[in-house]
Structure 1
Amino acid sequence: MLDGSAAAPVIATVAPYGEVTPRGAVFGGWILAQIDHAAGLAGRKLAGGDVVIVSIKDLTFHAPLYAGEEFVMHAEETRRGNTSFNLSITAVAEPDTQVRQIMTADVLLVAVDAEGKPRKLSGA
């Protein structure tokens, strides 16, 4: 992350050339899909099982992401309740030696059982 915090990298990929606007920036919809993947991956590990996204709050795009740039997403737990928790998702572009923040979001997730019903988080 830009501030050197310990948020774990969840996804590292290359921004696709097939998902760009006429100006060369990657579509926001592709980035939203990456948020879904990152929150799901990090959320399952933190919850010890299946999770669902309830909401994406405070989503802010800070800069465009361009095709061919390395795209890295970090996730950090910021709140834990009985069945739900929040993740701070941050994404950066690392085209060369310069790191540029692309977006930040607060994602609310709920741990669910095999039937899709909320379940208690371990340690909650």
Structure 2
Amino acid sequence: MATSIEGLKAAADIAKQIITLSTGSVAFTITFLDKFQIRGKDQFATIPVALYVAWVLFGVTILFALLHLMGITGSLESIDRKANGWSLTPHQTMAADGGTDHLRWPGILMLAFFLFAVIAMIVSGFKLG
């Protein structure tokens, strides 16, 4: 059971890192927004669409990371309940016995949206060059 708990803690740390990187990326680009603007022939400044896309994708990433963390918290609670001999629902029993199906999709989507957000941020950088 210890490896299960350590694995869940490692997964939680990854989700926290993803949240930190996502919020930091959005904060950085908003702080230096004037550096990301494109000046057209008419001298009106516009922000690359890819940067807007990156912001939305980072927001969705944070949402899935929070869902992933909530699932991990539920699994850890189920493990504690089982260790203390308390009653468990069928879902809690599955989680306490090492079932991680409820964590798989939020984790995959968190990582996928983060990757797409980083790609969108890189594309917006090329638009500036």
Q: Shorter-chain TM-score: what band?
A: under 0.3
**Bigger share in strand:** 1
The one of the two structures with greater contact order (alpha-carbon pairs below 8 A, sep at least 6) is 2
Larger radius of gyration between Structure 1 and Structure 2: 2
> What TM-score does the superposition give when structure 2 sets the normalisation length?
0.27
The structure carrying a bigger helix percent of its residues is 2
